[in-house]
């Protein structure tokens, strides 16, 4: 079964306090849903139209698990805390078998 991934590329961070509140809630929500943090906020080299801002990569055992984690009540609470604190490109993608 193909794994699922959350990929978040942050364009701007307007409110670091909202991001901190989100991180406090999102980490446990992702872990409870079976997600594994692979990369967060490390060094970034951007190419083409990319922006060298914070990037996050989270792995799940399946695409379906990744979608369900995003829909979970715990993660939705984290998103409410984040609100308009950032502008980001968030995607859930299916990995290769």
> What is the structure's pLDDT at 87?
97
Helix (H) or strand (E) segment spanning residue 91: strand 86-94
CATH of the domain at 15: 3.30.70.100
Ramachandran angles phi, psi of 3, nearest 5°: -75, 165
Nearest to 82 by CA among 24, 35, 39, 30: 24
Quick: pLDDT tens for 70-83: 999 999 999 999 99
Q: Tens of pLDDT along 3-61?
A: 999 999 999 999 999 999 999 999 999 999 999 999 998 898 999 988 888 999 999 99
Residues 80/82/86/91 CA torsion (nearest 10 deg): -70
Rounded to two decimals, what is the model's pTM? Answer: 0.92
What is the tally of structural domains in the chain? 1
The domain containing residue 66 runs over which residues? 4-94
97: pLDDT strictly greater than 90: no
Residue 61 pLDDT: 98
* pLDDT value of position 41: 84
């Amino acid at each position: 079964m193909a794994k699922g991934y959350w990929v978040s590329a942050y364009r701007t961070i307007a409110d670091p306090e909202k991001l901190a509140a989100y991180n406090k809630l999102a980490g446990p929500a992702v872990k409870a849903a079976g997600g594994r943090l692979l990369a967060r906020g490390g060094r970034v080299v951007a190419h083409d139209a990319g922006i060298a801002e914070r990037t996050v990569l989270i792995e799940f055992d399946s695409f379906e698990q990744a979608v369900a984690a995003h829909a979970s009540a715990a993660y939705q609470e984290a998103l409410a805390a984040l609100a308009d604190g950032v502008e980001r490109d968030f995607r859930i993608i299916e990995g290769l078998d």
